Chains A and B, each alone.
Chain A
Amino acid sequence: MGMNREPDEVELSSDIRHAAAELRDRFGGCPEPALLLASGAGVLPADLNTRVIAHLENCSVCKSMAQDLADLHEAPMPEQDRMKVWGQIRVGIAAEGPREGESSFARRRWQSIFRPLTIAAAATAVILISISVMVGVKLRRGSPGGHESAVLNGIPEPAASQPVGQASPEQSNPSPSAGSAFRLEKAPVRLPASAVMVWRGQADSGNPQGKELEEALAPYRADNYAEAEQRLERVARKYPRLGEARFYLGICQLFLNQNQEAAANLKMGRSLVQKQLAAAADWYLALAYHRSGQDSEARPLLEKLCRAAGKNSARACAALSESSTAQ
């Protein structure tokens, strides 16, 4: 086995290197260290275990190695590794769905809100909520004033309210309900650092893309997604490497129920956005896939987010769980 020489070893004298090569020739055929400990723990198959034990009785280096490995006092597990394993567990839990006799976490939340209602009352409530949200969305879209960002449940717009020239939305998945993990929430605006540092306060900046992006996002901030979509589309075409334009364009299209267009733009943008938006881009792309009926495409993204630590982890895990329940 060839030795990977590290830079600090280059400084070793030739006779040390020669002695090391001799050591390797003498003991390089010894079993992998993993086997030494596994043998001590009693987890090896019998034949393999017998061979390892016999070798240990006759090899000073391996005997020492086995003892040293057993004595090692490893440092506490780093927090990020704890989170990584926790994420794996969450993926596993989500994949199994709710336990027998118990509700999923999302379903319990839903039930705790609506349990007291009769079926008829629940149906009436859903209809009334739907109408009020549709009216609210229509009003917000019409006026560019400073409205607070809304948590919309993605209920489709009536066809008449679609801007002229926009394709009819293709719906594959019914809009998620208020308690759904797949609910659509607006992402806060976060400009790429280069754009913020270069153009703010500098009218004749050599980097106009930041300024144009900021201007295109003005209707987005005001929840006017149709207008924002048109402006962001222009910016995205003009600056193909500006991932943020594609990112917010995709979100606008989700609000407009143009899910397949949203998926295409989010897919293009996710590899180009600043690092801080990468996980959010994956989330919205997964959402777009889900809303387009492409859950097989959404799943790997949700699993990746669920495993990772971060703000998007909890909702990705909840979405996975909900998705498993629905199958």
Chain B
Amino acid sequence: MEMADFEATYRAHVDAVFRYALKIAGNRELAEDITSEAFLELYRNWGSLDLGRLPAWLFTVAKNRAVDYWRKTAVERRFVESVPAAQTTAAIEPGLESWILEEPALKPIHRVCLVMHFVHGMSRAEIGQRVGLSEVQVKGHLQYGLQLLRKAWNSIQAGVRHGDESGARRSGAL
């Protein structure tokens, strides 16, 4: 095997494998480890593997590594404890919650950054780790979302007040 061929194969597929690894691992550092292990496995099987099976073969290896990670007792226990056991129906409440979920000017990345920040209390660095972005990029997305929020806040408040009044009329309070 020539290293140049292996490196060329690496460059052809690393982006896709890393993005997949990031999705199933949930953080950048682990995704990098999973990606490098997938290609190491490719190296071990170089010569016996039909390269036409790439990148699907690499995704399978990455998935298996992720399964191993999530199965590690300590990891599993920690996350089982973090998922609420009691599930109650949670309708979307008017106000900030509905704005984040329904504002058409927000793209998925903006919503993800806003929710990770406001709901999960993550810093820019932590958000960047989760979604594979730099802190600067995360800052940009958060700023965009917050600017929209400031502009829309009065309408949001008006909508909340309207909803409160409607609810009060229905219940006979008004």
Contact = CB atoms under 8 A, between A and B. Distances in A.
A82 B14 contact: yes
B101 interface: yes
B111 to A, nearest CB: 5
A210 B89 CA distance: 73
15 contacts: A13-B153, A33-B26, A33-B116, A37-B23, A37-B26, A41-B66, A42-B63, A48-B79, A60-B97, A65-B112, A72-B109, A81-B32, A82-B11, A84-B32, A92-B40
B101 to A, nearest CB: 5
Interface in A13-29: 13, 15-16, 19-20, 22-24, 26-29
A16 B149 CA distance: 9
Contact of B32 (A70, A88, A92): A88
Contacts of B7: 86
A8 B143 contact: yes
A33 B130 contact: yes
A106 to B, nearest CB: 12
Contact of A4 (B14, B76, B88, B121): B121
Contacts of A26: 90, 93, 97
Contacts of B37: 92
B120 interface: yes
Q: Per DSSP, are chain B's interface residues mostly helix, strand or loop, or mixed?
A: helix
Interface stretch (A50-58, A153-161, A165-173): A50-58
Interface string A57-94: 11111001101111111111100011011101100110
Decide if the interface of chain A is mainly helix, strand, loop or mixed. Answer: helix
A70 B173 CA distance: 44
A74 B97 contact: no
Interface string B26-44: 1100001101110110011
Contacts of A148: none
Interface centre among B15, B35, B85, B118 (most CB of A within 10 A): B118
A68 B112 contact: yes
A71 B146 CA distance: 21
Nearest to B125: A4
Contacts of A9: 146
A38 B66 contact: yes
Interface string B69-83: 011000010011011
Interface of B: 1, 3, 7, 10-11, 14-15, 18-19, 22-27, 32-33, 35-37, 39-40, 43-44, 63, 66-67, 70-71, 76, 79-80, 82-85, 87-93, 95-97, 100-101, 108-109, 111-112, 115-124, 130-133, 137, 139, 142-143, 146, 149-150, 153, 157
A45 B32 contact: no
Contacts of B115: 33, 61, 64-65
A22 B3 contact: no
Contacts of B96: 16, 19-20, 22-23
Nearest to B129: A34
Given A32-B26, A69-B112, A86-B7, A12 B150 contact: yes
Contacts of A82: 11, 14-15
A253 B112 CA distance: 56
A38 B70 contact: yes
A200 interface: no
A48 B70 contact: yes
A19 B32 contact: no
Contact of A74 (B76, B80, B132): B132
Contact of A27 (B80, B88, B119): B119
A51 B44 contact: no
A310 interface: no
Contact of B18 (A4, A55, A85): A85
A52 B44 contact: no
